[in-house]
Homo-oligomer: A and B are copies of this chain.
């Protein structure tokens, strides 16, 4: 698993942690039953307050993504399911290839993010000012 929140991105740290845990599960880096890092050591490692990690874990449990066992630890819920390895490989290739092409054309990472966001939102950017 890879956790690396960015405090200056504007996105709350606990939300970033939630996203990254979900990502690890969907990519197969974390499997059902796997134990997550304990709150306090993880908070120390990420230079973040334990309450912040606890909040992320609490919300993840509320969403059914992980299971919290008092005194024992945090574990990936058994109901979670990863994307199949071959589909994951293909997907990673698609994303890597697209980003590579965009960067070669001089599109900045910031603008790549905005284009993906616009596309996912179904915005075609025809020039009309939405009313």
Q: How many copies does the complex hold?
A: 2
With an 8 Å Cβ cutoff, the count of chain A residues facing the other chain is 54
User: In this complex, what residue of B is CB-closest to A24?
Assistant: B125
A26 (CB) vs chain B CBs: closest residue? B111
Chain B residues positioned under 8 Å from A128 (CB to CB): 2
Within the complex, the shortest CB–CB distance from A58 to chain B, in Å, comes to 16
Interface residues of A (CB under 8 A from B): 1-4, 10-12, 15, 19-20, 22-24, 26-27, 29, 37, 45, 83, 87, 90-92, 94-99, 101-102, 105-107, 109-121, 123, 125, 127-131
**A-B contact list, 10 entries, CB within 8 Å:** A2-B130, A3-B129, A10-B11, A22-B111, A22-B114, A23-B118, A29-B127, A91-B102, A92-B119, A99-B116
